[in-house]
Structure 1
Amino acid sequence: MSYPATERVPTRSELLETELETLYRVSHVLNRSLDPNETVKDVLKILHQQGGMQRGMVTLLDPESGELLLNAIYCEREDVKPEPVRYRPGEGIIGAILSHDRTVVVRRIADEPRFLDRLGLYDLELPFIGVPIHIGPGEPVGVVAAQPKIAADELLGEWSRFMEMVANLIAQSLRLSRQVEKEKQDLTQERDRLRRTVRGNYGFDNMVGHTQVMRLVFDQVRQVAKWNTTVLIRGESGTGKELIANAIHYNSPRANGPFVKLNCAALPDNLLESELFGHEKGAFTGAASQRKGRFEQADGGTLFLDEIGEISATFQAKLLRVLQEGEFERVGGTRTLKVDVRIIAATNRNLEREVEEEKFREDLYYRLNVMPIQMPPLRDRIEDVPQLSRHLVEKIGKSQGRPLLISDSAVRMLMRHNWPGNVRELENTLERAAVMSPEGEIDGDTVVLTGLEEKILGGARPAVAPTVDLDDPEMDERERVIAALEQAGWVQAKAARLLNMTPRQIAYRIQTLNIKVRKI
């Protein structure tokens, strides 16, 4: 079917004015969205209605198949119902434009042997202009094509330049769209990688300890992680309460949500209220803008309130309302906000005694103490020191960017300390020892340099004394003498009998090995 060309030929000034107006409208449409599926058809509509270029078509390269896929067409004829069309490189006039990477202008499309007319769309008596689309140097990524309204050979060059400008605008939009999509994919991959890393760091397999008390803790963590139950982690400072909170969150259904932390002991009441609930602009001096609090930040995730036993009685009442209702107002605000937050709290205080002394609200205590988890001190699980030490040494080695090992003699010395500072003290001791180990191996002599031996000799013995084989061939002489003295309660005569020595011999060993005698 042909379309009669009844339009008059425009003057060059009229054509230029029309093209400028059309390019402006095309750029406006392309800026509206980064999705080419939403914008390209509107571009073809503008070309049809405003720019004098009808029956437009855009095909884009499918990177998987290497074929051109029909992305959009525009035609006012209702009888044209295009089906999915593909062009292989070099196939038909569209495929030839892609393969040869140059603009093709045909004076009369009926005379073009490469024209396949798969769409049944074009006027065979009118010209045809097809332009490759580039988003960078190298191969083109698509083709935009259309027919002028009228046959005017003298304007074909002008129309082809105009279509090339349209192709450039489409290319810029595609380039930006693909760049944003790539950045989005990169961010998604990075997010997923970080999530995998975090989950790996806080996975159940990385929780260290094989003693009965720690196995109980791990079993509790595995069970409570499945639910939204409020958890109260109890234990001395340095026992790893925050690590347990991390493990619960990152192994729970809320793992993809935020994990927000706040140390309640670090802030006075007025700042604590602002930190937890947020504030409105102008709520107090210095509140230059609205700010979301930790509860809002943790919506859909978990809020970890460390040192919960340190908050004042006044603030306890405010916190209780949020825990009961999930509702609060920002400081200086009147609008009630509702959040979905799981609470994990931690404390080293004896809350039961604090409740009896009316220092801690009983109703808040029961609201927090739904699922208590007691973290044992390190002195109650001395048998975990070897495994824990090697885990920490590996962690320190990664932070220092080198392989780091710890010898059995060093581990045996670590097991003789009662660790009042718990795991945190152990990690600090190992880090000091690592600094003083240029060869990458922490041995007994290096541990002595950290000052640990003076603490061992001056402090109390571990609650669980490790059993030491005095005939262990891997023990050096200094370790063997110290182990015998400890088993003998630092009575030199008893230690001498354990080592099949005379009291004079062991006294000599103590002096030459520079062993500081412990007074019991």
Structure 2
Amino acid sequence: MKDHRADESALPLIGIYEISKILGGTLDLEKALHEVLNVLSAYLNMRHGAVVLKDEAGTPSLAAVTGMSLQLARSGALKYPLAAAGKVIATGIPMVAPDIRDEPLLAEMMADGDALEDESISFLCVPVKTTDKPFGALSVERAWTGAARYVFEHDLRFLTMVATLIGQTVSLHQKVADDRDTLMTDAARLQKRMEDVRPALPVRGLEDVVGSSEAMARVFAHVQQAAPTKATILLRGESGTGKELVARAVHILSSRAQKPFVKVNCAALSESVLESELFGHDKGAFTGAVAERKGRFELAHGGTLFLDEIGEISAAFQAKLLRVLQEGEFERVGGSRTIKVDVRLVAATNRDLESAVADGSFRADLYYRLNVVPIVLPPLRERSGDIPLLAMYFLKQFNEENGRDLVFSRNALEALQRCYFPGNVRELENCVYRTATMTRGEVIDEMDLSCRNDTCLSSTLWHKRNPQSPPPPARPAAPIPVPAGPLAPPPNAAGAADATGASERDQLIQAMERCGWVQAKAARLLGLTPRQVGYALKKHNIELRQM
């Protein structure tokens, strides 16, 4: 035969289980509290439950009720004894009124008159708190009949446990809300800083070239100085540093701004196709040439021609290009008519042209013709202070393109600033767009970044390009103080000379020793993932030590 007493004794445990699931399953606090009161009513025969919480002014106010809407209850439809709840909150002592008729503080509840003739209504109220002073109260009513008084000890103990769960949940929600306000404030401040910095940059031509670092200030100065002239400009720098944007800025800031700006990627075309692309061809010059076609030099007449990846052209084509630059004239492929053009040339390369000239793969005379005004674009790792501005700029573009309103948290910007981005600005843009696409909330936090989800290829790319050297440490920007770069030595290192001379293996050992040979801690110190640290330990045959 089934033991009903056993079933009844299990009800409180089942109730606690259901309540914990409710409180941990939603971010809607009002809905969660309402469902908790419903559980109390369904499992424990408690009716007219209520949760009271202090508002911003410190006044007790209804936060959840059963039997009616919260709005209706707050309007006065529920005769709830806020004075009694306020006393429980102020003293932190539970209140038990076996019969509400005997308690003056509960007199207004008698007006409801929903008790039966032989039924008495009891009122139980316990404080809601965590480790601090109470900030709320949980109350229920319970009906009982008969001459014998009901024993409330078990109900009081159970309600205290429920109130503790509610207190922890309310505190967590408040902390989340406070953190979100802080993130939004920081994001707004950083966005304002970006807007304050941008007007200091040249208004015309360089709007899309973001940067406030000393290195970029030199670039802006060189562009403004050289753009109004007719001199050929050679843009130097690693891939992804923004050479095309600077070339366009040169054009816009020149007297040729109203004429065409034509660009060609020399590395993307074979020699024969590149010749036709730049010089054009006459009808019948080769199979498929069914009509006369103007080349990029003709299309850029009066304007600017941007030749990207100029270091990749063949030796044979270098001679043809040199003649155009010297004489300002050429013949189309398959043609005999000499065509004269007036073109301002801006070239770009990520190659070491001096070494190419030394080994004979690049003509010295062409090098001197191109290298009239060299402008070097710094890699992103040498201007890490610009990373927050660039990241917010790209995020603003993403928001405009996708109709979203995302912002970065301070932690996310600091984490980005610690990265060294082998792919430079292009890689940062890719990182921002990828992260923004996969972020579900309104704030991009540090844990949303690829480098915190072990899907970032920066470290892999760097080690493939520079297998014998660690990535250089990033220098933090003043407004956003961050730790030293990914593989920087500990602060108590012997000195800068020793740090820069240390091998990657030595720096890895230093980091492990400093962290007690705990890989996870060392990974955080180095700005890497635990998996990357584990790989590096294996790569350098470093045995783990037991501390």
Q: Normalising to structure 2: TM-score of the pair?
A: 0.50
Say if 1:434 and 1:440, in contact at 8 Å, map to a contact too. Answer: no
1: CA distance, partners of 2:523 / 2:208: 42
Q: CA shift at 1:411, angstroms?
A: 1.1
Are the structure 2 counterparts of residues 509 and 310 from structure 1 closer, same or farther at C-alpha, using a change threshold of 3 Å? Answer: closer
Q: CA shift at 1:437, angstroms?
A: 1.3
Say if 2:473 and 2:488, in contact at 8 Å, map to a contact too. Answer: no
1: CA distance, partners of 2:478 / 2:328: 55
Cα-to-partner distance string for 1:388-436 (whole Å, 9 max, x where unaligned)? 1111211222222322311111111112222111111111111110111
Say if 2:511 and 2:522, in contact at 8 Å, map to a contact too. Answer: no
Match of 1:390 among 384, 389, 392: 392
Aligned equivalent of 1:241: 243
Aligned equivalent of 1:463: 473
Letter in 2 for 1:287: A
Q: CA shift at 1:201, angstroms?
A: 9.6
1: CA distance, partners of 2:479 / 2:256: 48
Q: CA shift at 1:485, angstroms?
A: 10
2: CA distance, partners of 1:455 / 1:398: 27
1:451 and 2:454 aligned: yes
Match of 1:516 among 525, 530, 536: 530
Say if 1:485 and 1:492, in contact at 8 Å, map to a contact too. Answer: no
Aligned equivalent of 2:284: 282
Deviates further, 287-296 or 224-233: 224-233
Say if 1:299 and 1:341, in contact at 8 Å, map to a contact too. Answer: yes
Cα-to-partner distance string for 1:436-488 (whole Å, 9 max, x where unaligned)? 11334321111045636685699634433438999x8xx9xxx99x9999768
SS in 2 for 1:420: coil
Cα-to-partner distance string for 1:81-133 (whole Å, 9 max, x where unaligned)? xxxxxxxxxxxxxxxxxxxxxxxxxxxxxxxxxxxxxxxxxxxxxxxxxxxxx
Are the structure 2 counterparts of residues 361 and 218 from structure 1 closer, same or farther at C-alpha, using a change threshold of 3 Å? Answer: same
Aligned equivalent of 1:320: 322
Cα-to-partner distance string for 1:253-290 (whole Å, 9 max, x where unaligned)? 11110000101111111111110000011111000000
Are the structure 2 counterparts of residues 413 and 289 from structure 1 closer, same or farther at C-alpha, using a change threshold of 3 Å? Answer: same
Q: CA shift at 1:202, angstroms?
A: 6.8
Match of 2:216 among 209, 214, 219: 214
Aligned equivalent of 2:252: 250
Are the structure 2 counterparts of residues 461 and 469 from structure 1 closer, same or farther at C-alpha, using a change threshold of 3 Å? Answer: farther
Are the structure 2 counterparts of residues 469 and 452 from structure 1 closer, same or farther at C-alpha, using a change threshold of 3 Å? Answer: farther
Q: CA shift at 1:214, angstroms?
A: 1.2
2: CA distance, partners of 1:494 / 1:272: 56
Say if 1:249 and 1:302, in contact at 8 Å, map to a contact too. Answer: yes
Are the structure 2 counterparts of residues 361 and 495 from structure 1 closer, same or farther at C-alpha, using a change threshold of 3 Å? Answer: same
Are the structure 2 counterparts of residues 400 and 357 from structure 1 closer, same or farther at C-alpha, using a change threshold of 3 Å? Answer: same
Say if 2:385 and 2:477, in contact at 8 Å, map to a contact too. Answer: no
Match of 2:232 among 230, 233, 249: 230
2: CA distance, partners of 1:308 / 1:228: 19
Are the structure 2 counterparts of residues 491 and 319 from structure 1 closer, same or farther at C-alpha, using a change threshold of 3 Å? Answer: closer
Aligned equivalent of 1:357: 359
Are the structure 2 counterparts of residues 396 and 455 from structure 1 closer, same or farther at C-alpha, using a change threshold of 3 Å? Answer: same
Letter in 2 for 1:308: I
1:54-133 paired onto structure 2 within 5 Å: none
List gaps (5 residues or longer) in structure 2: 1-200, 464-469, 493-506, 538-547
1: CA distance, partners of 2:367 / 2:202: 33
Q: CA shift at 1:494, angstroms?
A: 4.1
Say if 1:432 and 1:450, in contact at 8 Å, map to a contact too. Answer: no
SS in 1 for 2:383: helix
Are the structure 2 counterparts of residues 461 and 323 from structure 1 closer, same or farther at C-alpha, using a change threshold of 3 Å? Answer: closer
Say if 2:473 and 2:487, in contact at 8 Å, map to a contact too. Answer: no
Aligned equivalent of 2:409: 407
Aligned equivalent of 1:262: 264
Letter in 1 for 2:303: G
Say if 2:205 and 2:252, in contact at 8 Å, map to a contact too. Answer: yes
1: CA distance, partners of 2:284 / 2:457: 56
Q: CA shift at 1:249, angstroms?
A: 0.7
2: CA distance, partners of 1:201 / 1:279: 40
Percent identity of paired positions between Structure 1 and Structure 2 = 49
List gaps (5 residues or longer) in structure 1: 1-198, 497-502
Which structure has the bigger radius of gyration? Answer: 1
Match of 2:436 among 424, 434, 437: 434
2: CA distance, partners of 1:407 / 1:433: 13
1:423 and 2:425 aligned: yes
SS in 1 for 2:448: helix
SS in 1 for 2:449: helix
1: CA distance, partners of 2:430 / 2:364: 37
Aligned equivalent of 2:382: 380
SS in 1 for 2:307: strand
Letter in 2 for 1:326: G
Aligned equivalent of 2:26: none
2: CA distance, partners of 1:384 / 1:509: 25
Letter in 2 for 1:350: D
Letter in 2 for 1:464: A
Aligned equivalent of 1:79: none
Letter in 1 for 2:454: G
2: CA distance, partners of 1:250 / 1:388: 22
Q: CA shift at 1:370, angstroms?
A: 0.5
Cα-to-partner distance string for 1:281-328 (whole Å, 9 max, x where unaligned)? 111100000000000000011000001111111111111111111111
* RMSD of aligned Cα (Å): 3.6
How many residue pairs were aligned?
Answer: 306
